[in-house]
Chain A
Amino acid sequence: MKKRSNSLIFVTMLLMLSGCGSWSVKNNIIEEISPTILLYVGRGADKHLEQATLIPPLVEEKKRVITANVRLMKEGRIQLNQKYYREMKSGQLRMLFISKSLAREDILPIVNTMMIDPEISDRLYLIVVEGDFLAYLNKQVVKQQEMIEFYLYKMLAHYEQQGEITVTNLHRFMEAYFSPYADPKIPLFTTNGTDLIYKGTALFHDGKMVGEITTLDDPLFQILNRPTRFQKLLSLPEQRVTLGSLHTETKVTVQPTGDVKIYIEGTGRVEEYQGERDLNQPEAAQQLTRELEAVLEQKAALLVKKLQQLRIDPLRIGERTLGPFSQPYTEETWKAAWPTMRVHVDVHLQLESLGLLKMKK
């Protein structure tokens, strides 16, 4: 008798645990729903939000793009639902593409809507996209690129680990937004209709996109952004040289006088050289190293100058002023002081395999 009552209780509890029965209002039978992976938001006509998603994800069925033109984010979800025979779920939403024109206005209300939804993970990747993203999606669908959104997701997940390009998720964006000594950044992609190309980093100030760092400056931005980094390739076309396997260590210190010192220590090797110097000569190799150091110093200084002009601090230099027992700048004083601070960049390079190939006969 006791055993039977115990097992009865167990079965009832099991039944109540399973979420997809008809017992609750929420019905998650997989054949009846359509989890979305990608969502695009842009600025449509008369201040409306234009939203688009790809359906169905990961099912052997013809893919297509559906769009909605609404005023609110979640209103878009309702409209998208009404256009499609399966109910859409956002539990698997992994990427939010935001058009550049919308990003220039204010993306905070959109990001906030995503934050509030408990179904949506904080790992949702944010991407700013330039150009006609809908045309790109449509073309991919026509080209029978069945799993395009899945491939895009895998790409971002890969580079999030590698750190080669900027990758931002919802959490990192919000953390930087709220942090008194930081400003958010989001990867910027551009599309010409057929390809989606990584262009650089979109810089934000209070939820508005204020600037961008484009391709050649972007690796340098990544180096400045992290204390230690491994850069696979760094091309300097003007110097006709490509550095490879570059280990960098970046030390940023803010002097009590208010000067910012950035010291970059790099070790790597020359992987390509098309210049005039004969790198077999130690002096010539030395000269090249000095020249590259000077170029990198200049580029980095310009980059930081640009950030100062935009009055933003995505490199979190302000955080370096803090110590366990001191806080020389409050949020306001830092924001006032940062744009006019003097910045010294010092680059020190150690390059291997200079002149490994003896081209001269």
Chain B
Amino acid sequence: MKSSSLFDHDKPLQPWMWAVLVNRMQVGYFMLILPNVLVQPYMVWIILLAGCLALLNMWVIGKGLEVSYQQHETEGWQPFMGSVWMRLLMVPCLVIMLLKLIIVVIGYVSIVHQILFPSVNTGTFVVLMMFAGYYLAKHGMLTVLRFGVIAFLMSAWILVLYGYYLLPQEANYTHLYPIIPLQWPSHWFESLLFVWAALAGPEYFVVLGPWTGGKRLTKYILTGNVASLFEYVYFFFVSLLFFGSSYLKSIDIALVQLVRYIQLPFFERVDMIVVPAYMAPIVLVIALLMLYVYGALRILLKQIHKPPHARGFFMVSLAVVGYLLIVDHWLWTSETQRRMWEQLQMVVGGASFALTPALFLVLHAVQSRRRKSEKAQ
């Protein structure tokens, strides 16, 4: 656990792990609240539409990863790391990452607080979650990425649990009718944006070229995205079959409500296991984002050429915890504030998902052209 191992990339990741990682990055807090936002049965087309658009973006991300690997091999960006432009670029990146951290951590913590432990202060959970994230991140980027597989194993089995609601005793299939919109749907653009923002997350991988080992990963990334798409449609249908659209509107987190309805003969509160199981992908995202925040701060503060520092990372994590506690205590206290954060994340997260990979490729093009012209001279 040497400090310099934080960003080690001596061993590349298995290609199939990228599929798992992409999938787990896309199932977060937004997926849990997705059924309540979409509500109408015909909104399933919105999910599919957003998913197909995301597939295009995934292809760009796959390209970005290849480029990122080339850049790493040729050390093409090394001279720019300390430049003012690069440092300035880190400021919006930091803002985006810190915003995502809020949604991921506090969104999940508020669910836990509401359903499992209403008598325990939310701040305690924030600290615990962040500690778990820090503990994972401390082992370095490679471990964090490999943790994706564990996160998948810990949370994907929940899909099977919801299969119970597809059986006719509980499922009312007429709730799916009419499945095509009979008049022009209102809020369709907002819903599209929401699903798009929910699918955001894999854009963070675009700079992880050194961990790919130079393999072509596009098909794995696409597979991961298709899997998440399937999961979205599945969860949406399950909650619709059980609640029906008009009831679904009035429910806070339908997926958790569904789990609470399951009553096994030997164990009743299945939510006590399912809600913590969702913690695994969330810890994965936290750990990844903390490493990114640390990396971005190193570029911003011109520390990039020095080796990463364990104490530095600890201090950064501490600051992030403090920041989250402040948000939790003052800025995320009511339903309206929660809505505000969700709206903000919807716009910012969606924009970053759409623009980051493309921007990355543009930067690459500019850089390689400049290098060519330098060579010509």
Residues on A facing B (Cβ under 8 Å) = 2, 9, 13, 16, 19, 24-26, 118, 121-123, 171, 174-175, 177-181, 316, 319-320, 322-327
Asked if A118 and B115 sit within 8 Å, CB to CB, the answer is: yes
How many Å lie between the Cα of A179 and that of B245 in the bound state? 8
Contact of B188 with A by CB under 8 A:
no
Asked if A2 and B1 sit within 8 Å, CB to CB, the answer is: yes
Least Cβ–Cβ distance between B266 and chain A, in angstroms: 15
In the complex, what residue of chain A is closest to B263 when comparing beta carbons? A123
Asked if A9 and B135 sit within 8 Å, CB to CB, the answer is: yes
Residues on B with beta carbons closer than 8 Å to the beta carbon of A316:
174
Asked if A175 and B244 sit within 8 Å, CB to CB, the answer is: yes
Asked if A25 and B119 sit within 8 Å, CB to CB, the answer is: yes
Asked if A325 and B243 sit within 8 Å, CB to CB, the answer is: no
Asked if B261 and A121 sit within 8 Å, CB to CB, the answer is: yes
In the complex, what residue of chain A is closest to B124 when comparing beta carbons? A16
What is the interface of chain A mostly: helix, strand, loop, or mixed? loop
How many Å lie between the Cα of A319 and that of B245 in the bound state? 13
Least Cβ–Cβ distance between A32 and chain B, in angstroms: 15
Query: Could you list 12 A-B pairs, sorted by A, with CB under 8 Å?
Result: A24-B120, A26-B119, A121-B261, A123-B261, A175-B244, A179-B246, A319-B172, A322-B178, A324-B180, A325-B178, A326-B178, A327-B178
In the complex, what residue of chain B is closest to A163 when comparing beta carbons? B169
Asked if A324 and B178 sit within 8 Å, CB to CB, the answer is: yes
Q: A118-B115, A322-B177, A325-B178 are in contact. List 20 more A-B contacts (CB 8 A).
A: A2-B1, A9-B135, A16-B128, A19-B117, A24-B119, A26-B117, A26-B118, A26-B120, A121-B261, A123-B261, A171-B261, A178-B244, A178-B250, A179-B244, A180-B246, A320-B174, A322-B174, A326-B178, A326-B182, A327-B182
Least Cβ–Cβ distance between B178 and chain A, in angstroms: 5
Residues on B with beta carbons closer than 8 Å to the beta carbon of A2:
1
Residues on A with beta carbons closer than 8 Å to the beta carbon of B263:
121, 123
Least Cβ–Cβ distance between B176 and chain A, in angstroms: 7
Asked if B182 and A324 sit within 8 Å, CB to CB, the answer is: no
Residues on B with beta carbons closer than 8 Å to the beta carbon of A326:
178, 182
Residues on B with beta carbons closer than 8 Å to the beta carbon of A19:
117
Contact of B363 with A by CB under 8 A:
no
In the complex, what residue of chain B is closest to A26 when comparing beta carbons? B119
Residues on B with beta carbons closer than 8 Å to the beta carbon of A178:
243-244, 246-247, 250
How many Å lie between the Cα of A123 and that of B244 in the bound state? 17
How many Å lie between the Cα of A314 and that of B230 in the bound state? 34
Binary CB contact string for chain B from 298 to 341 against chain A (1 if under 8 A, 0 otherwise): 00000000000000000000000000000000000000000000
How many Å lie between the Cα of A82 and that of B300 in the bound state? 61
Residues on A with beta carbons closer than 8 Å to the beta carbon of B242:
175
Asked if B180 and A122 sit within 8 Å, CB to CB, the answer is: no
A-facing residues in B139-191 (Cβ within 8 Å): 172, 174, 176-180, 182
How many Å lie between the Cα of A326 and that of B181 in the bound state? 9
How many Å lie between the Cα of A345 and that of B177 in the bound state? 26
Residues on A with beta carbons closer than 8 Å to the beta carbon of B250:
178
How many Å lie between the Cα of A123 and that of B268 in the bound state? 11
